[in-house]
Amino acid sequence: MKAITFRVSFALCLALALLSTFGCGSAATGPGQFQVTTTPAPNVQSVTVNSGPSSVLGPGSGYVDGAFTSVTVCAPGSTTNCQTIDGILVDTGSSGLRILSSALTIALPQQTDSSSNPIAECAAFADGITWGPVQTADVKIAGEQASSLPIQVIGSPNFPTIPADCASQGAPEDDLASLGANGLLGMGPSIQDCGADCATAGSLSLGAYFSCPSSGCVDTTEGLAQQVQNPVAAFTADNNGVILELPAVSGEEGSVTGTLIFGIGTETNNGLGSATVFGTDSLGNFTTIFQSTQYPSFLDSGSNAIYFLDATTTGIPVCTDISFLYCPVSAQKINVTNDGTNGANGPVTFTVANADLLLSNPASAAINGLAGPNSLGGFDFGLPFFFGRNVYTAFDGKGTSGGTGPYLAY
Amino acid sequence: MKLKFLFVLSIAILVLALAHRAGASLGGDLSSVRDDQMKLQGTVRMTSNNAYNVHEIRASNGIVVREYVSLSGNVFGVAWQGHSHPDLRQVLGANYDQFAKAVQAQRAQRHGHGPLLIEQPGLVVQMGGHMRALAGKAYLPQNLPAGVGAEVIR
């Protein structure tokens, strides 16, 4: 249906363009009173960098440097038992769709193991964990669909007890205040959120997937197909990668709008163009060179600043009141070289500005120059890296016009 | 143990224990390190120099844990990388509650997600990376052997 609608719209546009001076960028009433509306391409989804859904919780509760979009989830096979949820954080640093239970109003089928016990997951992130049941949904974004996809429902009241093996890995991010979003749309280079290590019986468990009989949740293995996984890679088309396009931000703005484009080289709107392909390891890691020293690095739209190295190495002081952000006296340009596993390399310049000053205006949510230390070493290129770039993420094992993933390109 | 050069001892151990994640307690003694070696099926490799020993455990699930032990047998640092974080309650031992409070305090300051950096009097915890490629380290600054910097823990 979408393709037909698109073709008809295109034909009407073409006819009108010949008949009149009306363009096709917006609704226009041409001769003969045809109402013409351009249909967005089915692989294009709008994203907004703003303070996100947590801003309703009060002053200072909003997100800074987070890109949000909406997803539609339906009970598998249903076109009526559906819900569109906005405020979903666009995250190229994880894989899988995760939705806060408090934001989900429709019932979805629960995934169970061979003994009919429900499956729940503990997903580990750098700064905490999400805990909750694995359920199944048809996931629709723009004109794309992933059918019967395993997703995680975070903070479900039906699974109130976080197993000790999970709680010990970090503090839960199970509500709007701690997650800062209604959910996460994980579209990283990996297909599954755990992979073979969770699927292999006999190896030590990772505290990731749990079988939850009424007696309590216990570690279990989880097959690759059953794991929570990258929704875009499960689309029926345009499933080999994703492009996040954000406008340049100079200083700070309250809101900026960009796009997600699904697929790489699968349509007329998602070719690589002049982008450079940087090969990565299977998890999306590459190398960044700073002052002649090599460091491990990755791109992550779900990190809200460029986190890199430390005050000693960079010579940039951290803020006196916020130890996890940099506060240079005046803004500095940092020059590094990104080095892919395929031998491609290219310079990157980014700004580190004073975080205290940047965050002093509560109306600002899209801020360039926000950066902080990553004391483990290396570079976590968060959302400010994506400003003014079209960043391609090619998924592990998927063929694209730029070669087989995983790779990053911009 | 006064060798100036590094020596490496590799021991493959086979144990049937089912517990899975490591965490010698900071401030604990060698027995907590041995507990971890029993819990984690995998390869243990010990590296020594004239200031401390490093017990590196490579578990079959891909997680690598390095435990830094002073020559007097005190665990002053733990570093890890892999799919998941270790049992932080065990790693941090008596310092866990202090850590948990600091995490909540830092969350109140944050406006988004990123690596965790907790620097408290007597306790430093750093956690970062991304899904499937997490890393972290924890140490007690006051317990670092003389002349040893925190950068060795990684």
Kindly state whether A154 is in contact with chain B, defined as any CB-CB distance less than 8 angstroms: no
Among A184, A217, A234, residue at a domain's last position = A234
Q: Are residues A63 and A123 in the same domain?
A: yes
pLDDT at B41: 64
Residue A258 within any structural domain of the chain: no
Residues B78, B56: Cα–Cα separation, whole Å = 10
Q: Is A231 a residue whose pLDDT tops 80?
A: yes
Residue of A170, A304, A378 with shortest CB distance to B112:
A304
Q: Are residues A189 and A50 in the same domain?
A: yes
Residue B95 within any structural domain of the chain: yes
The chain-wide mean pLDDT, for chain A, equals 91
Residue B1 within any structural domain of the chain: no
Residues A402, A272: Cα–Cα separation, whole Å = 7
**Domain CATH number, residue A168:** 2.40.70.10
**Number of CB atoms found within 10 A of residue A210's CB:** 27
Mean pLDDT within A153-173: 95
Residue B149 within any structural domain of the chain: no
Residues A220, A117: Cα–Cα separation, whole Å = 11
The helix or strand, by DSSP H or E, that contains position B99, with its residue range, turns out to be helix B96-109
Q: Can you give the three-state secondary structure of B23-63, one letter per residue? A: CCCCCCCHHHHHHHHHHCCEEEEEEECCCEEEEEEEECCCC
Domain region containing A32: 2-36
Residue A252 within any structural domain of the chain: no
Q: Is the CB of B130 less than 8 angstroms away from the CB of A66?
A: no
Q: Which residue has the higher pLDDT, A392 or B18?
A: A392
Q: Are residues A198 and A224 in the same domain?
A: yes
Instruction: Please identify among residues 54-93 of chain B the ones whose CB lies closer than 8 Å to any CB of chain A.
Output: 59-63, 83-90
Residues A192, A371: Cα–Cα separation, whole Å = 29
Residue B52 dihedral angles phi and psi, to the nearest 5°:
-165, 170
pLDDT at A27: 40
Question: What is the token pair recorded at A138?
Answer: 């048809």
Among A210, A234, A258, residue at a domain's last position = A234
**Domain CATH number, residue A282:** 2.40.70
- Contact predicate A255/A366, CB 8 Å: yes
Q: Smallest Cα–Cα separation from B132: which of B81, B96, B79, B95?
A: B81
Lowest average pLDDT, out of A200-204, A286-290, A309-313, A374-378, goes to A200-204
Lowest average pLDDT, out of A182-186, A187-191, B86-90, B141-145, goes to B86-90
Signed CA dihedral, A52, A54, A60, A64: sign only: negative
Residue of A203, A206, A374 with shortest CB distance to B115:
A374
Q: Are residues A202 and A279 in the same domain?
A: no
Q: Are residues A31 and A62 in the same domain?
A: no
Number of folded domains that form chain B: 1
pLDDT at B30: 79
Q: Which residue has the tokens 């089928």?
A: A109
> What pLDDT, in 10s, does the model give residues A209-229?
999 999 999 999 999 999 999
Q: Are residues A190 and A316 in the same domain?
A: no
Number of folded domains that form chain A: 3
pLDDT at A355: 97
- Among B21, B38, B57, B84, most A C-beta atoms within 10 A, so best to mutate, is B84
Domain region containing B75: 7-142
> What pLDDT, in 10s, does the model give residues A58-112?
988 999 999 999 999 999 999 999 999 999 999 999 999 999 999 999 999 999 9
Kindly state whether B141 is in contact with chain A, defined as any CB-CB distance less than 8 angstroms: no
DSSP state of B94: G
> What pLDDT, in 10s, does the model give residues B55-102?
998 877 778 889 999 999 999 999 999 988 988 888 888 889 999 999
Q: Can you give the three-state secondary structure of A41-56, one letter per residue? A: CCCEEEEEECCCHHHH
B115 contacts on A by Cβ (under 8 Å): 126-127, 303, 307, 324, 372, 374-376, 380
Q: Are residues A12 and A121 in the same domain?
A: no
Residues A18, A40: Cα–Cα separation, whole Å = 21
B90 contacts on A by Cβ (under 8 Å): 168
- Contact predicate A247/A380, CB 8 Å: no
Residue A239 within any structural domain of the chain: no
Residue A65 neighbours by CB under 8 Å, 6+ apart: A49, A304, A305, A365, A366, A367, A370, A382, A383, A384, B111, B112
